[in-house]
Amino acid sequence: MYAVIMAGGRGTRFWPRSREKKPKHLLDIVSKRTIIQETVDRIKSLIPPENILIVTGKKHARELIKQLPEIPAQNIIIEPVGKNTAACIGLAALHIQKIVPDDVMIVLPSDHAIGDCRKYLEVISAAAKVADQEGGLVTIGIKPSSPQTGFGYIEQGQSLRNVSGKEVFRVKSIREKPDLLKARKFVQSGKFYWNSGMFIWKASIILKEIERCLPDLYTGLMKIKEVLGTSKEATIVPRVYKGLASISIDYGVMEKADNAFMMPGDFGWSDVGSWDALWEISARDNQGNALTGGGSAIFTDTEGALVYSPKKLVALIGVKDLIIVETKDALLICKKGRSQDVKKVVDTLEAAKKKKYL
């Protein structure tokens, strides 16, 4: 069994901490360990480090090797260019098949927070059994606590059976990120789960599904497979990869699959996708104020605030629902509930070519 950790992306909603050279998953946001270190720490209780592959971009590979000394350097797979999750997963499947003819691969995002590690491993282990026995595509669904528009949704189908005490459902449909009205209907129905972005399947099965649903992508992957481990790899792979379609595995494969299964994940999950999400999982005082980053703050007549300031004392007086993030070269002040819009700040900086802030 193998784990594949997808460590791409920039984490723009976590600006000003998350930058191009050091995106969110390389930062210590939820503890003293970085998020990707925590991701590896969790899964290596189930899968040995030599069977953990990490797919990333060239600019982050050195930092990953530094942060994860237990992972063999050859297990850091370099994407020549970011091409979304379908190409990323296909590339990882090829690398697994180069090692063994076929095996179950557990695909994990690099930047999630998990509350109960024991329950998490129980669900992942059961999902691996389903993937091995059923030969299907297994995903983990999270019971929604509120109507969120930032997540995709999984519609629960018929119950299939229980595996290791965990119920397995057929997937009726996969839905893209909805508007607020649809999200409310999804939650009210009780049949929809947040799409966690965790997938479990055999390497051979996902490649067959890519062949069926994304034939052009499959053709490119087969060209890559021919040269992996040869003298042609360094020249052929970047050229072919650049021409691959940029499409998510959800949209490209999961929405079209008729052999998809879902297992509920009741282990306390957060994608830590924004400063608001960090506030949700942070320790808070009686007034709902959270302090992160090891700094100090004074909250006077203040409610629902989040402060990240590792070096400066921050004093808040008579305010409510603010996010304040201080770094050495930038200060973010944001109304709580609007942190998804932090990406707009990054877009503005890019348009103004202010690269020192990116």
> By 3-state DSSP, what share of the chain in percent is helix, strand and coil, each rounded to 5?
40, 25, 35
Q: Domain check: are 136 and 190 in the same one?
A: yes
Share of the chain above pLDDT 70, in %: 100
pLDDT at 177: 87
What integer pLDDT is reported at residue 10 of this predicted model? 78
* DSSP strand pairing (76-79 vs 153-163): unpaired
Number of other residues whose CB lies within 10 A of the CB of residue 344: 12
Domain check: are 285 and 244 in the same one? no
The CATH number of whichever domain residue 233 belongs to comes to 3.90.550.10
Asked if residue 320 lies in contact with residue 337, where contact means CB atoms within 8 angstroms, the answer is no
Of 239, 270, 301, the one marking the end of a domain is: 270
The pLDDT score that the predictor gives to residue 30 is 86
**Confidence check: pLDDT of 243 > 90:** yes
- pTM for the model stands at 0.92
Burial class (CB in 10 A: 0-12, 13-18, 19+), 114: middle
Given a contact cutoff of 8 angstroms between Cβ atoms, the answer to whether 75 and 99 are in contact is no
Residue 318 has pLDDT above 90, yes or no: yes
**Sign of the Cα pseudo-torsion (51, 57, 62, 67, in order):** negative
Q: What pLDDT, on the 0 to 100 scale, is given for residue 160?
A: 87
pLDDT at 70 over 90: yes
Same-domain status, 209 and 333: no
Please determine, for residue 51, whether its predicted confidence score (pLDDT) is greater than 90.
yes
Residue 44 has what pLDDT?
94
Same domain, 11 and 37: yes
Give the whole-angstrom CA distance, residue 275 versus residue 271. Answer: 11
213 and 331 together in one domain: no
Nearest to 107 by CA among 232, 254, 6, 242: 6
Residues 22 and 122 in one domain: yes
Residue 18 belongs to what domain range? 2-270
298 with 262, same domain? no
Q: For 81-108, write each residue's pLDDT tens digit.
A: 999 999 999 999 999 999 998 999 999 9
Contact indicator for 223, 241 with CB cutoff of 8 Å: no
pLDDT at 170 over 90: yes
Question: Which tokens hold the place of 355?
Answer: 């690269």
- Both 157 and 102 in a single domain? yes
pLDDT tens-digit map of 267-296: 999 988 899 999 999 999 999 999 998 889
| pLDDT tens-place string over residues 298-317 | 999 999 999 999 989 999 99
In a shared domain, residues 194 and 291: no
Q: Are 264 and 343 part of one and the same domain?
A: no
Please check whether residues 23 and 133 belong to one and the same domain.
yes
At 340, the pLDDT band (50, 70, 90 cuts) reads: confident
Domain boundary among 270, 287, 313: 270
pLDDT > 90 in the chain, percent: 85
Residue 210 pairs in a beta bridge with none
206 and 96 in a single domain? The answer is yes
Closest CA to 54 of 100, 115, 95: 95
User: Which of 227, 254, 270 finishes a domain?
Assistant: 270
Residue 254 pLDDT more than 90?
yes
For the chain, the domain total comes to 2
Residue 181 contacts residue 148 (beta carbons within 8 Å):
no
